[in-house]
Structure 1
C-alpha cells in the first residue's frame, strides 16, 4: 500500500487537509474508495458496531448508504496531536420513507506512519429534521463545494 499524505505528525494545516480528504471520500459514497484510506486491519467502532478490516468497512458502508439516502457530510477538526486527529461532523440524509435526519457526531482517528487510519471511534446522534431545515444542498454524490460554509459558520 502506498502512503496517504499528509502523514503524521499532524499540524493544524495537515489535520484539516486529512479531514477534508476524508469528507470528500465519504461524500463520494463509494465504499471501496473510502476503505482504501484505512489499514488492512483497521479497527472501528461506529455507534454500537465493532469490526475490523477493509472488507468489513466496505460492507458497513454499503449497508449505511443503502439506508441513509442523499447523504451529505461536513467534517471539522476539533483537535490533533502526533498521529491522532479528533473531528466533529454533521451529515444530512433521509430514509426510504422520506424522513430527513441530521446526524451529529465525533470521531477519534489514529493513523499509522503511512497516513492510513488504523483506528476509528465514532459516536453519532440522529435528529429528525424537516426537509426545509436542510442546510447541505450541493449535488450528491460528490464533494462539498469549496465555497460552501463549514459547520462553525453554519452554527452546527
Structure 2
C-alpha cells in the first residue's frame, strides 16, 4: 500500500502543502513520477479528454509535454474539504513554432484515505501571449523556487 502524505482529512495547511507538492510534481514534467500521485484506477477529465488509470495518465502527459515546451506551472488552493481540494492554476509554455501561451484553469480533486488522488476534473483555457508577457521565470527543469511569486502575487 502506498501512502502519499498529506492524507485526508485536510486542514488548510495540509491542503496548501498538497497543492504545492502537486505543482512540484507537474513541474518535473516526468509523466511516470506524476502518475504515482494517483490511484491505479484514477479517473480524469482533462479538458475534453477522459482517461482512466496510470498508464493512460502517463500517455496523456507524455503527449502534453511533447507539445507544451518549457512548461512552468503555478497552482493555488481555492477551497478544500475533508477529502477534496479545489485549485486554480496557470501555466506558461510555447509550441514548436515558438508561440507562447498562458493556460488558465481550475481543478477539482478527490483523494482516497492514503492521499492518492482518484478523481481529477480539469477545465483549461489557452491564451496566446507574447514572449515579453511571460511572468513565470525559473529553471524549467525543476520546481518553482519558494521566493518566486504565486498567482495572487502576480495578479493572475
TM over 0.5: yes
RMSD: 0.4
List aligned pairs for 1:62-81, cutoff 5 A.
62-81=62-81
Runs of 4+ in structure 1 off by over 6 angstroms are none
Residues 1:154 and 2:119 are matched in the alignment: no
The CA deviation string for residues 78-112 of structure 1, in whole angstroms up to 9 with x for no partner, is 00001000000000000000000000000000000
Counterpart in 2 of 1:22? 22
The CA deviation string for residues 5-64 of structure 1, in whole angstroms up to 9 with x for no partner, is 000010110000000000000000000000000000000000000010000001100000
> 2: distance between equivalents of 1:12 and 1:137?
27
Counterpart in 1 of 2:129? 129
The structural deviation recorded for 1:149 is 0.5
Counterpart in 1 of 2:87? 87
Residues 1:48 and 2:40 are matched in the alignment: no
Counterpart in 2 of 1:34? 34
Q: How many residues align?
A: 156
> 2: distance between equivalents of 1:56 and 1:39?
12
Q: For 1:121, what is the secondary structure of its paired residue?
A: strand
> 1: distance between equivalents of 2:55 and 2:143?
24
Q: TM-score, normalised by structure 1?
A: 0.99
Q: For 1:51, what is the secondary structure of its paired residue?
A: strand
Q: Give unpaired runs (5+ residues) of structure 2.
A: none
